[in-house]
Structure 1
């Protein structure tokens, strides 16, 4: 049973009190992120009541929280784990992989390490070790402190739990950032919206609301894994030497390439599902009304499912607090809710849609995840540069050879970034195909689009590597395809792949319509019939 929401566990007291912005210091608690992620995110799953006291002891009193984690309890624990790893660990993993790859290249050039292809694996091991274990490593110097409702609010003690729910704003006030693990339910849940409203009430904190769609993180993870496997397989085949082991390396490389080919359709499958979710985001933001947010108490007609006693309305509690924050003396009834709705649409919505709208990718997360699969091969590039160019090259030819050697490494990471961006475009069109064409199977559409993606990647690869093998080492011709690839990647990230009108016209019209109608809707809570099977999105009990 859940309860941040619902006050079902402490209904009488909640009806007599209001939400607070202050908490006793001993109850103002945070938990280290590595503990929050422990056991492959086990704390994000439903808890055994017998473990609630132990879970609460993982948190500790604090005067500062780095990230307040807002989420919906019905969203898969694995999706949220993937999102947290991408948000908090991907940059460290990418930087560590780069440093290790450069170091391995220098050590190979200095003959400290053998100049062999297997040393590239050190970079791959580094990425996965840091990606999954960075917060544990960081805990030895400065651990990141976060708020996770289940661990920071006592679930085993009704009185302490009530104080934690009432003082939720106090946790948000000491948080530097609000990290929203977004799913389609997030903006439909009353308490998730309350968390956002608490941050938005302070102008200096409005830019510290960061939203990451959980399926976007999963898509980046699957896409990154496919490039890791594909790059590794190609490297094994390309570095085959010696007749005794040639067949074994070729077999291993071929298996890697086949596995990557299997992963490619799953990247599109996850991406199409993500697009299905993201297709609702512009409308959710442009039509946002906190009056429409759902709560457990209203879905159950304010009757406790076990005791059959009356339960007070969470809406009244939250709306009264919003009136204190956004209302003014003499305002018409419900105007504070109208003002808050407009704040979400005008200030929060544009920044969210710009960073994670259906035709946008977070650039840095994309770079960290897509490029890291090829970064370890930088050690090969450094080793080749250290050996020097082939003989009989002029000074100008030596410079061109050096540039081409670096480009031979850089081409694949840039191609991976371009392919990831194209995946998003194809997934959007795949979502439309799955809903507006005869082929309504998401998997079939994913397989079809993956073949198109493979053809495009293979074409770009051939444009560079085939000319490189046919011309002299001092020829500048292979540099041209690389410049074209850079231009195509930059253009696609800058301009997207769908017309602005397709993403904005409906949202603008819906926003205008809502703003015309809202003054006529006085903010009276919508206590209409809600789905009885809805669970509250925040506090696990």
Structure 2
């Protein structure tokens, strides 16, 4: 929602469209009943005679406790991808926009009776960060697809001599020893293409016909007409009652805003079985930071591959190349540790939630929200117990605060740019088919899951040691995480290159065993645990 007329800092965080339709039960609140007893059915209060909804002002709503009454005349929604098409600035506070722009955003929405998703967010968090998070969340499949297409096209152009391959690479695969032409187009151009595809993803045809109608405050509430603005703000409960999903774009200030808490309370009461999704903004920030680091490291590896063919290539060149390749990752890990501290803040906010700590500049808004929570949950403390208990478990059960493996796979795929360059070098150099297949399996297909495990393990270590002990140990913690990650990647990469040059069955088996151990360390026993739980459920 936007802010109330007298509470300009109280608002909400946004999130993303849900594909599934959730039938909201209007009877009781099973989980909440364990904390504060049975909850009165909302349906009965709607059926009571009440004033015409379009004339129900904020004072009448407060007096009659009609917080969840639906004012259908002001219900307006917008497809999510439309909010991402214009670019940065649309998720910002109205204070950062001109009156003309606010009116233009409102005109982009259209009347509706229901919402697929209600976005909850706070204007205390910069709008650009929300935009980037939502853009990546929705557009990463398009980004990966464009990378694959660009890689394919550039590979064909290189193999057909439409693009020159001016550098050289000293190949050593099986019994093949030859200097091969090396290109740079795949590693240089796939990133710009993928980024452009990400920005353009809201315009992709596959979005057509798949609109999820969303409530987004800047689009759904008129920000310049005082009457419509008041009806939209204080009718927010009715919008929540008509929403299939509440998506929370969480940032550290979220639980300090009273209106954000009102949205959680109102949605769960009006939709006991409705879907609440926690989508922390730091997740996408972590992935994009990691992606930048991986691309920098890949560029360093390519430089090393090109320098190995120089006659004057010395140990100094090797040292400089190694530093160039690994230093970006060192900085990225330090940033990752800082970003993952937000996860601990999220857990702390839920564990120690208290309604009294929520801020609001308007006494009327505070009375408006507290009266609703007292009616729905019995008391502020009962609601706080519900948030700290059942709601916390619900919000965290989907591992919302964890970087998804699909995101990590996006990062791993970006590493393949350097492997594709080496593969093309062998093909252009006339290497035998068995050597080409060995590189295809040993360097391009085989290491994918191992690299995924390494980055997963790096994120776990960054999260485990996110909090700094002091200024000096803070840097030491980052260095040790970097050293562990660097060692795992280098030892596997070196072993793979050595085995491609001089195949041996026993070292190959040891390498596979080592990679399996790293996978177990990264992903733990969760897959096995899920299998055991399913088996016990069937029994």
CA distance in 1, matches of 2:286, 2:120: 21
Residue from 261, 266, 274 that aligns with 1:205: 274
CA distance in 1, matches of 2:429, 2:141: 32
Is the CA contact 2:119–2:248 (under 8 Å) kept in the aligned structure 1? Answer: yes
Partner of 2:259: 191
Is 123-132 or 7-16 further displaced after alignment?
7-16
Is the CA contact 1:65–1:174 (under 8 Å) kept in the aligned structure 2? Answer: yes
Residue 221 (structure 1) shift:
1.1
Partner of 1:276: 341
User: What does residue range 263-342 of structure 1 map to in structure 2 within 5 Å?
Assistant: 264-265=330-331, 267-290=332-355, 292-297=357-362, 302=363, 312=364, 314-322=365-373, 326=376, 333-334=378-379, 340-342=383-385
**2:249 aligned counterpart, secondary structure:** strand
CA 1:38 to 1:151, structure 2 compared with 1: closer, same or farther past 3 Å?
Answer: same
Residue 160 (structure 1) shift:
0.5
CA RMSD of aligned residues (A): 4.2
CA 1:405 to 1:48, structure 2 compared with 1: closer, same or farther past 3 Å?
Answer: closer
CA distance in 2, matches of 1:375, 1:66: 37
Q: Which has the higher contact order (CA 8 A, sep 6+)?
A: 1
CA 1:287 to 1:456, structure 2 compared with 1: closer, same or farther past 3 Å?
Answer: closer
Is the CA contact 1:28–1:170 (under 8 Å) kept in the aligned structure 2? Answer: no
- Size of the aligned set, in residue pairs, is 451
CA distance in 2, matches of 1:8, 1:475: 69
Partner of 1:424: 459
Residue from 357, 365, 369 that aligns with 2:407: 365
CA distance in 2, matches of 1:268, 1:374: 17
CA distance in 1, matches of 2:348, 2:250: 15
CA distance in 2, matches of 1:49, 1:15: 32
CA 1:295 to 1:256, structure 2 compared with 1: closer, same or farther past 3 Å?
Answer: farther
Is the CA contact 2:115–2:244 (under 8 Å) kept in the aligned structure 1? Answer: yes
Partner of 2:184: 118
Is the CA contact 2:257–2:360 (under 8 Å) kept in the aligned structure 1? Answer: yes
Is the CA contact 1:5–1:190 (under 8 Å) kept in the aligned structure 2? Answer: no
**1:40 aligned counterpart, secondary structure:** coil
User: What does residue range 27-176 of structure 1 map to in structure 2 within 5 Å?
Assistant: 27-30=75-78, 32-36=80-84, 38-45=86-93, 46-51=95-100, 52-63=102-113, 65-101=115-151, 117-121=183-187, 122-137=189-204, 141-142=208-209, 145-176=213-244
Residue from 464, 485, 488 that aligns with 2:518: 488
CA 1:287 to 1:458, structure 2 compared with 1: closer, same or farther past 3 Å?
Answer: closer
Is 140-149 or 47-56 further displaced after alignment?
140-149
CA 1:87 to 1:357, structure 2 compared with 1: closer, same or farther past 3 Å?
Answer: closer
**2:78 aligned counterpart, secondary structure:** strand
CA distance in 1, matches of 2:128, 2:476: 27
CA 1:93 to 1:347, structure 2 compared with 1: closer, same or farther past 3 Å?
Answer: farther
Is the CA contact 1:68–1:148 (under 8 Å) kept in the aligned structure 2? Answer: yes
CA 1:404 to 1:135, structure 2 compared with 1: closer, same or farther past 3 Å?
Answer: same
CA 1:214 to 1:390, structure 2 compared with 1: closer, same or farther past 3 Å?
Answer: same
**1:280 aligned counterpart, secondary structure:** helix
Residue 226 (structure 1) shift:
0.7
CA 1:101 to 1:352, structure 2 compared with 1: closer, same or farther past 3 Å?
Answer: farther
Is the CA contact 2:106–2:220 (under 8 Å) kept in the aligned structure 1? Answer: yes
Provide, for residues 315-339 of structure 1, a one-character-per-residue CA deviation record: whole Å limited to 9, x for no partner.
4433444466x46xxxxx53xx566
Is the CA contact 2:334–2:478 (under 8 Å) kept in the aligned structure 1? Answer: no
CA distance in 2, matches of 1:446, 1:350: 31
CA distance in 1, matches of 2:483, 2:249: 34
Partner of 1:475: 504
CA distance in 2, matches of 1:182, 1:163: 26
Is the CA contact 2:300–2:325 (under 8 Å) kept in the aligned structure 1? Answer: no
1:459 to 2:459 alignment: no
Provide, for residues 112-131 of structure 1, a one-character-per-residue CA deviation record: whole Å limited to 9, x for no partner.
88786334245333321222
**1:210 aligned counterpart, secondary structure:** strand
Provide, for residues 286-342 of structure 1, a one-character-per-residue CA deviation record: whole Å limited to 9, x for no partner.
333445533222xxxx3xxxxxxxxx2x34433444466x46xxxxx53xx566445
TM-score (norm 1): 0.69
Provide, for residues 339-368 of structure 1, a one-character-per-residue CA deviation record: whole Å limited to 9, x for no partner.
64454344432244355577x433333333
CA 1:97 to 1:222, structure 2 compared with 1: closer, same or farther past 3 Å?
Answer: same
Is the CA contact 1:154–1:160 (under 8 Å) kept in the aligned structure 2? Answer: yes
The runs of 5 or more residues in structure 2 that have no matched partner are: 10-56, 166-181, 527-539
CA 1:402 to 1:66, structure 2 compared with 1: closer, same or farther past 3 Å?
Answer: farther
Provide, for residues 363-395 of structure 1, a one-character-per-residue CA deviation record: whole Å limited to 9, x for no partner.
333333x2232144564587589799966x9xx
Partner of 1:216: 283
CA distance in 1, matches of 2:321, 2:427: 32
CA distance in 2, matches of 1:213, 1:164: 26
CA distance in 2, matches of 1:89, 1:365: 11
Partner of 2:534: none
